[in-house]
């Protein structure tokens, strides 16, 4: 398999919590030596990209913040700007709000006669009840969209455990308001098109690597690029076999990715 650009998921693919997946470092050294471009894309909007950059650098992986890191926050900003959105209510961490505040007018509480353009949700580890309440009140009383940075229901952490993610929050809002979120980030194929163009490679030269079927593998299917499912995170081999879309490749972990690329 010849590839020029590999788009990696991080959580569950390269590391689990604070533990690097065994063999990951030698895989990135192989990619570097063979001039295969790699980028890290995360659906997780609860951290700044420099959080991931520091994490990868501390693992010893060769990377630069500007060149190798992308998140669903950037995709969300571009989507909202394209649609002329100005006033938004945000449920998300301060780092997401900080980036959105540079581009949009952030409304901080529900007011009866205040018109807004959209409610935006991100993976929030700083969630408070009033945020969900105000978001629901806006969605209940105005014909506005609910835009989610990502649709992951849960995020894997150490010891095989999971914590609630943005998709789970959106389900909570859907049950309360009937509004279904427009989900950006993976599996929306826009991010693949964007990166292929940025790195000037054809879609058949791209490989998407991840541990989650309904985001990492589905984004590959949606964008019609090859995908590799690693079994080091959320999905078991049984999960993969039972899923309606099959990845192009399956490996236990990215440790043996160089063998696929030879
Ligand atoms: Mg993952």
Tens of pLDDT along 124-156? Answer: 999 999 999 999 999 999 999 999 999 989 987
Residue 9 Cα, ligand 1 centroid: separation in angstroms?
Answer: 5
| 15-16 and 19-20 strand pairing | antiparallel
How confident is the model over 166-221, as pLDDT tens digits? 999 999 999 999 999 999 999 999 889 889 988 999 999 999 999 999 999 999 99
Residue 11 Cα, ligand 1 centroid: separation in angstroms?
Answer: 4
Contact status, residue 222 vs residue 212, Cβ threshold 8 Å = no
Residue 20 Cα, ligand 1 centroid: separation in angstroms?
Answer: 13
Please check the confidence at residue 108 and state whether its pLDDT lies above 80.
yes
Please check the confidence at residue 37 and state whether its pLDDT lies above 90.
yes
Domain 73-183 adopts which CATH fold?
Rossmann fold (3.40.50)
* Whole-number pLDDT of residue 46: 86
Question: Please, what is the average pLDDT of the chain?
Answer: 95
Residue 64 Cα, ligand 1 centroid: separation in angstroms?
Answer: 21
* Whole-number pLDDT of residue 160: 80
In whole angstroms, what separates CA 42 from the centre of its chain? 4
* CATH code 3.40.50.1000 region(s) in the chain: 5-43+186-261, 73-183
Which residue spans within the chain are E strands per DSSP?
5-8, 15-16, 19-20, 37-42, 69-71, 87-91, 105-107, 118-121, 146-148, 154-156, 162-164, 182-183, 206-210, 226-230, 249-251
Average pLDDT over residues 223-245: 97
* Domain 5-43+186-261 classification at class level: alpha beta
Residue 152 Cα, ligand 1 centroid: separation in angstroms?
Answer: 9
Please check the confidence at residue 35 and state whether its pLDDT lies above 90.
yes
Residue 100 Cα, ligand 1 centroid: separation in angstroms?
Answer: 24
Residue 77 Cα, ligand 1 centroid: separation in angstroms?
Answer: 22
Residue 146 Cα, ligand 1 centroid: separation in angstroms?
Answer: 24
Residue 123 Cα, ligand 1 centroid: separation in angstroms?
Answer: 14
Residue 93 Cα, ligand 1 centroid: separation in angstroms?
Answer: 19
């Amino acid at each position: 398999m010849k590839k020029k650009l590999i788009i990696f998921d991080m959580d569950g693919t390269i590391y689990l919590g604070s533990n690097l997946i065994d063999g990951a470092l030698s895989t990135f050294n192989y990619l570097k030596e063979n001039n295969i471009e790699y980028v890290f894309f995360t659906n997780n909007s609860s951290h700044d990209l420099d959080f991931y950059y520091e994490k990868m650098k501390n693992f010893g992986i060769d990377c630069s913040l500007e060149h190798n890191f992308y998140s669903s926050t950037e995709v969300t900003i571009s989507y909202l700007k394209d649609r002329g959105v100005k006033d938004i209510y945000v449920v998300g961490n301060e780092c997401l709000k900080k980036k959105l505040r540079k581009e949009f007018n952030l409304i901080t509480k529900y007011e009866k006669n205040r018109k807004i353009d959209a409610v935006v949700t991100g993976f929030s580890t700083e969630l408070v009840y009033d945020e969900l309440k105000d978001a629901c009140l806006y969605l209940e009383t105005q014909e506005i969209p609910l835009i989610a940075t990502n649709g992951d229901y849960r995020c894997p952490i150490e010891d095989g455990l999971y914590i609630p993610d943005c998709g789970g929050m959106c389900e909570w809002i859907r049950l309360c308001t009937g509004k279904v979120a427009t989900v950006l980030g993976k599996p929306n194929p826009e991010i693949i098109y964007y990166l292929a163009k940025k790195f000037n490679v054809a879609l058949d030269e791209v490989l998407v690597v991840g541990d989650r079927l309904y985001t990492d593998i589905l984004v590959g299917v949606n964008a019609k690029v090859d995908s590799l499912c690693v079994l080091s995170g959320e999905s078991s081999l049984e999960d993969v076999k039972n899923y309606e879309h099959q990845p192009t490749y399956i490996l236990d972990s990215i440790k043996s990715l160089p063998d696929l690329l030879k």
